[in-house]
Every structure is written in C-alpha cells, then in structure tokens.
Chains A and B, each alone.
Chain A
Amino acid sequence: MALVKKTVVDKVEVVSEHKMVQCREATWVEDNGVMVGGKNFHRHVIAPGDDTTGEPAETIAICNAVHTPEVIAAYNEMVAAQELGV
C-alpha cells in the first residue's frame, strides 16, 4: 500500500472588471492511485499587482496575461478611492 498526498491548483478563475485571479488548491490522498476520501480545498485571490512568488507557473502566466499595467493602475485607483470614503 502506497499512500500519496497530492496537492494541485485545480481551478483558476479571472473575475470582475479588475481581473481578480481566484485560485483553488485541492489536496487529497491516493492509495495506489485511487483517491481515499475526498478533496480538501484551500483558496486565495491574487489582485492586480500582488506578488506571485511561489505560485505555480500556470498561475503566474495567467496573472502576467491579465494584470497589465493598465489593469494594475485601475485597481490601485479603486483601492485608493475606497480608502478615502465608504
């Protein structure tokens, strides 16, 4: 019997006009290639301009594609505007 723990980013979604990148990391255990139990999910969101160090290459590629300087500037404008008012 060989139990193996596997973790992969199994879903990456680009949402909203500000191109927020939502990432889902799935973790599960396999016994000789057969999944035991179910998957556990852990999520995070990458905003334009966020540091992508440590992210999988595919995720970085997506961020690089959608987080253009214009998108980053627009996002920063929104954040600044939200900090000024409610």
Chain B
Amino acid sequence: MSKVKIQGNASGTGVVTLTAPNTNTDRTITLPDETVSLTGAPAGLDDVGGVARATSGLLFNGDTAAANALDDYEEGTWTASLTGNGSAPSTAATATGTYTKIGRQVTVHVYLANKNTSGASGEMQVTGLPFNPSQSTTGVYASYGLEAQGSFCVAYARTSGTVEFLEMNDGAVWGAVQIVAGSSKYLDLAMTYET
C-alpha cells in the first residue's frame, strides 16, 4: 500500500501548504516512479516575475551546437540623424527609431518626417544605428523631397556605422545619392543587418 510522507526540514520553519482548487472538480498530481522535485524553475531557466529567463540561451529540436543558441533578444529605440557627408544641416534633422535584435540580427526602422536639411551637402547619410553592422548590408527606403536620379535606390549600411544611399544606373557603377538641402524632407528607412 502506498503512503504519503511529508517531512519537514529539521533546521527550518517553513510550512508545506496544499491548497484546494477553486472548483468542484478533483485535481490529481501523478508522480513518476523516481525521485523528483516540484520546486524551482527547470535547469537553465530563471523565473523573473513570471517571465522565464534562459540563463545561457535556447536551442531547438535536439540541437547541441552552442553557435546555434538563441542567446539575445532586445527591443529599444535609437536616434537617427539625416545628414550629408560634406556638411550637416544647420539644425539637426533627427527622429527616434525602433530596433529589435534577435541573436546577431538587428532590424531597424525610422521615419524622419518634415525635416529641414538646409545647410547639408554631400552624400546623403543616416547616422546613429543602435548596433554596428559587421558587414555592409542593403535596406529599403522611401523618400519625399530627397529623390535621386537613378533608376533604383537602396539604403546601404556600412561597417563604419553609417547608412548611405546608393543609386543604380543601367550600365554604370553605383552612385551615391546626394542630399537635397531644404525644408519639408521625408525619409522612411527600414533594414535588417548583422552585428
């Protein structure tokens, strides 16, 4: 015949509490045929206010390669500055963007609306990325008042930490989009790059 044994710690004063469920239906705890502990979070996980925190990352589907561990996730904001590499606008043209970092991959977005770029000259740039790109990466953007003459343009994040804007012309080398000085400039930028 099975028995139920509850044994207190000789040096402790803790109380074991069993609380009935708030229902008229019986609830059952079935124990495996081995010694188990019902206390504490599973190995590798911390309970932080009800949120599970992996102490060293997550692996999926039986994988054991540490390089594949999902070891970082972060959301936040960054301050983007629209400028030129020749000179900056007389008044800084900035906006707050968002970022999401998943592992080594960072996705950023920012919308610079109704900015005044008077005083700026040279190649158009956006500075202030939240993480430094480990390699050059392309992204997409839409603009108003900052149009280039090329047939197709992309944003281009450099390892220097600066986003430039390249235009592709048929049969010619890529060109750099030049900033247009003046008021009422709009630029919406989104890109994903690796750190």
Contacts and interface: CB of A to CB of B under 8 A. Distances in A.
Interface in A38-86: 40-45, 47, 75, 78-79, 82-83, 86
Contact of B99 (A43, A79, A86): A43
Contact of A16 (B76, B85, B129, B159): B159
Contact of B130 (A16, A43, A83): A43
B158 to A, nearest CB: 5
A78 B77 contact: no
B177 interface: no
Interface of B is mostly: loop
B110 interface: no
A15 interface: yes
A44 B79 contact: yes
Contacts, number: 58
B173 A86 contact: yes
Interface residues of A, number: 19
B159 A78 contact: yes
Interface residues of B, number: 27
Contacts of B128: 44-45
B132 A42 contact: no
Interface of B: 74-79, 85, 99, 123, 128-132, 134, 136, 156, 158-162, 166, 173-174, 176, 195
20 contacts: A15-B195, A16-B132, A16-B134, A18-B160, A41-B77, A42-B78, A43-B77, A44-B79, A44-B128, A44-B130, A45-B129, A45-B131, A47-B161, A75-B160, A79-B158, A82-B136, A82-B158, A82-B159, A82-B160, A86-B166
